[in-house]
Amino acid sequence: MSARRLRITVKGAVQGVGFRPFVYRAARELELTGRVRNEGGTVLIEAQGERVDELPQRIRTGHPPHARVDAMDCAAVEPVTEAAFEIVGSAPGAPAPGVVPDLVTCGDCLREVIDASSRFYRYPFTNCTQCGPRYSIIERVPYDRANTTMANFEMCGVCRADYENPDDRRFHAQPTACPACGPQLSLLDARGRAVTTDDAIRSAAAALDAGEVVALKGLGGFQLMVDAANADAIARLRERKHRSDKPLAVMVSDVELAGHVAVISKEEAQLLRSAAGPVVLLESRGELPDEIAPRLGTLGVMLPTTPLHHLLLREVERPVVCTSGNRSDEPICTDNADALERLGEIADQFLLHDRPIRRAVDDSVARVIDGAPQVLRLARGFAPLILPLGRDTHAMATGPHLKNSLALCGDGRAVVGRHVGDLENTLAVDAMHQAAADLRDFFDVRPGRVACDLHPDYASSHFAHEQERPVTTVQHHLAHALACMLEHDLQGPVLAVVWDGTGLGTDGTIWGGEFLHVERGGGIRWRRAAHMKAFRLPGGDAGARDARRSLSGLLWEVESLRGDVLPAHRRQLEKRINTPLCTSAGRLFDGVAALLGLCGRQTYEGQAASRLEAAVEPGCEDAYALPVADGVADWTSMLGSMLRDKADGVPPGTIAAKFHHALADAIVEVASDMGESTVVLTGGCFQNRYLCERATNKLRAAGFTPVVPRRLPPNDGGVAPGQLIAALEGVGHVSCRTGDD
């Protein structure tokens, strides 16, 4: 009998997802001997037997759903004498082949949690190899129980037996726990005193029922909940959280109930049910109070993420508002004591447990656009995101100022970290430092160089310069374009339409309505092919917080319309006091929203633009003219037309539609002029579903291939990997048109 022996190395996301048990079972079925272990960035398998050649194929096609195989090598080696196939423990200190994101409760675990005969009945911390906490509880790699925040919970005999049984769903599931041995719930009031109850979940549900605010310790951090049908309770939460208008997400117990409050396509249902469990942006049915997402027509909906959420939602029997447990603009709370202190003024009750969260991972946000999912906030369930990269250089990119996240690379892959948030306070900056340290340790990256934004004053740029490594500064909109090119493995040349609120341009003005020609391969070559006509924004950064400032800036550019500029802004514009030039498409949206009376002061980023999008009248096919000549998309005649339409009593919805159509037409016009077949659409403005889908449809109809970010957010949360690419590949030729002042 000739037994062949193979040495198989597997690279990818292979820890914490039942990968080794899977290999073990496959080997046993094929009657092989040998072993499987984690070793230095890979999983190493040695297998021997007559059917050993079938194993690689099994690994490729049959691996667990949350694992990912990036590369596999097979080599024949000398057979040895051995009796069985075994799993060998992780070698200490070996770098992880990939840290796996947190996963929402799987169907098998949920069935046990609601089965009165199961030992996991009503146990809120039930999990298995296919679900449960991962990234949020890891202290250090490799991913073994002793290296997680479960280290202090000693497994009972029954759990231990499951953990050691290769045929059990909990075989080597590191956070395995049951009521006898695992974390326990507690319910406290706003002052941190224990609430006397024999069922913390039922009591918390009763509090929600009574209109109270409940802070719940979720998978990656605290969440604040109120009854989604109770407008007073929602108003109370908003007031206490100082969050006046920004949309709140709702959690519903299942997809069927979600269908009562929102319109859901097949793709959207899949996204809702996915193991990442993001908040999914859906079209609202108007069943819930408008206070949840004022004047937007959309609803962010998520399903329960843990058994605790499932049990609570089943008790409440209706949707609950579920939003990040933080004070406005601060990072999300993860620690019990910290939550009691920071959220004590907001929540009436705290539903806590004693399994520590090692790192904050916010709820992710995603949606279906142009027929496929797109991540808008890369956090719980998606982070850390791994993208293959054809080089081994170690580097780090510190990301943007708003919606910060970092990216690192080494050993043939780029890793994008979790959403950190706006770097507007020291807590957020600390969170960025922590996120960087985590990624460096988990992925064993020793950055030899660092990339950051061109803007020297961002906290993320300061952080880059503190590293005492060579720093590459990268223009913001180029980074947006390169990130999308990396994700889709595009070398270019492409036309990248990058529209957002703000980013420092290479000419010192504020950019944001950019058409870039970008090419990779032997260094990055790019040029600013066209841009929105520049205008002066009274108040600079403050201009972004009040849509009327943008409107004044736009009107000021047209001699005959200057009379309409608000007096407060007129003086500023006349004397050019803090009125930087910008080509921002985001501010153009703001100005048009203000013109239509849809928004003045903005209480959250994108508010004016979101309302303008929501105002679009369906069925209208007219468009304004937005001519592009000599590389400038000149909106001045369009502005005049809009004012005339408004004066003639044309409904705002029609004006909004014609405006969106003009922008999409301008994209096709520039694409036709340039002649590159691939057109990248990215930047925060393309979170506008109407604009994005209109543009992709028009581009396709004209024979172009539109590309949008999918696994990376189109907003600033996705720019760090683009900075990384610029640092790795080198930015060659830069030529740009300056602003037309």
**Between residues 131 and 494, which has the closer beta carbon with respect to Zn ion?**
131
C-alpha–C-alpha distance, residues 171 and 25, integer Å: 11
Closer to Fe ion by Cβ: residue 570 or 710: 710
Among residue numbers 115 through 154, which ones bind Zn ion (CB under 5 A)? 128, 130-131
CB nearer Zn ion, residue 131 or residue 361: 131
- 716 contact choice in Zn ion, Fe ion, none (CB below 5 to 8 Å, kind-dependent): Fe ion
Beta bridge partners of 486: none
**d(Cα 236, Cα 323) in Å, to the nearest integer?**
14
Closer residue to Zn ion, CB minimum distance, 107 or 675: 107
Burial of 79: CB neighbours in 10 Å, binned 0-12, 13-18, 19+: middle
Residue 613 interacts with Fe ion (CB under 5 A): yes or no? no
Residue 438's H or E segment, with its range, is helix 426-442
Q: Which does 102 bind (CB under 5 to 8 A by kind): Fe ion, Zn ion, none?
A: none
716 near Fe ion (CB under 5 A):
yes
Q: How many residues does the chain have?
A: 741
Q: Does 275 bind Zn ion (CB under 5 A)?
A: no
Nearest CA among 460, 546, 550 for reference residue 513: 550
| Nearest-approach distance from CB 716 to Fe ion, in angstroms | 4
- Specify the residue, 605 or 613, whose C-beta has the smaller distance to Fe ion: 605
Q: Which stretch binds Fe ion (CB under 5 A): 40-48, 54-62, 105-113, 494-502?
A: 494-502
- Pick the binder of Zn ion from 156, 561, 614, 674 (CB under 5 A): 156
CB within 8 Å of 709: residues ≥ 6 apart: 374, 375, 483, 484, 487, 682, 718
In the bound state with Fe ion, the residue whose beta carbon lies nearer, of 144 and 500, is 500
Q: Which residue from 503, 459, 462, 449 is spatially nearest to 481, judged by alpha carbons?
A: 503
Q: How many residues bind Zn ion (CB under 5 A)?
A: 10
Return the beta strands (E) in 325-371 as ranges: 349-353, 365-369
Cα separation, 264 vs 282, in Å, equals 7
Beta-bridge partner residues of 413: 388, 410
109 binds, among Fe ion, Zn ion, none (CB under 5 to 8 A by kind): Zn ion
Q: How far is the CB of 456 from Fe ion (least distance, A)?
A: 17
Question: Interface with Zn ion includes 161 (CB under 5 A)?
Answer: no
**Residues sharing a CB contact under 8 Å with residue 82, sequence separation 6 or more, in sequence order:** 33, 34, 48
Return the percent helix, strand and coil in the chain, to nearest 5: 35, 25, 40
Site membership for Zn ion, residue 181 (CB under 5 A) = yes
Neighbours of 418 (CB within 10 A): 29
Nearest distance from C-beta of residue 400 to Fe ion, angstroms: 6
* Smallest gap from residue 633 Cβ to Fe ion (A): 18
The yes or no reply on residue 159 touching Zn ion (CB under 5 A) is yes
- Count CB-CB contacts under 10 A for residue 308: 26
Q: Which is nearer to Fe ion, 348 or 716 (CB)?
A: 716
What would the 3-class secondary structure string for 548-572 be?
A: HHHHHHHHHCCHHHHHHCCHHHHHH
What's the min distance (Å) between Cβ of 113 and Zn ion?
10
Q: Does 180 bind Zn ion (CB under 5 A)?
A: yes
Q: Write phi, then psi, for 537 (nearest 5 degrees).
A: -100, 105
State in angstroms the smallest separation of the CB of 550 from Fe ion.
16
C-beta of residue 453 within 8 angstroms of C-beta of residue 401 = yes
CB-nearer residue toward Zn ion: 114 or 190: 114
Least distance (Å) between residue 118 CB and Zn ion: 12
Phi, psi of 195 (to 5 degrees): -90, 130
Residue 500 contact among Zn ion, Fe ion, none, beta carbon within 5 to 8 Å by kind = Fe ion
Q: Which is nearer to Fe ion, 369 or 720 (CB)?
A: 720
Q: How far is the CB of 484 from Fe ion (least distance, A)?
A: 12
Q: What angle do CA 218, 224, 230 make, to 5 degrees?
A: 130
Residue 519 as a binder of Fe ion (CB under 5 A): the answer is no
Contacts with Zn ion, 424-463, as mask; x by CB under 5 A: ----------------------------------------
Residues 71-110, mask of contacts with Zn ion (x by CB under 5 A): -----------------------------------x--x-
Q: Is 361 in the site for Zn ion (CB under 5 A)?
A: no
Q: Residue 246 in contact with residue 603, Cβ under 8 Å?
A: yes
- Give whichever of 261 and 459 is closer to Fe ion, judged by the CB atom: 459
Q: Which stretch binds Zn ion (CB under 5 A): 33-41, 171-179, 478-486, 502-510?
A: 171-179
Q: Which stretch binds Fe ion (CB under 5 A): 38-46, 255-263, 379-387, 715-723?
A: 715-723
CB 41, min distance to Zn ion, A: 27
The span from the CA of 659 to the CA of 664, in Å, is 9
| Residue 500 interacts with Fe ion (CB under 5 A): yes or no | yes
162 binds Fe ion (CB under 5 A): no
Tell me how far CA of residue 452 lies from CA of 401, 406, 470, 489, 506, in angstroms. 10, 10, 11, 22, 14
Taking alpha carbons only, the member of 615, 46, 70 closest to residue 387 is 70
Question: Where does this chain touch Fe ion (CB under 5 A) — which range of 582-590, 599-607, 714-722, 730-738?
Answer: 714-722
- Residues 413, 97: contact at Cβ < 8 Å? no
Q: Report d(CA 35, CA 44) in Å as an integer.
A: 8
Q: Which residues bind Fe ion (CB under 5 A)?
A: 500, 716
Residues that bind Zn ion (CB under 5 A): 106, 109, 128, 130-131, 156, 159, 178, 180-181
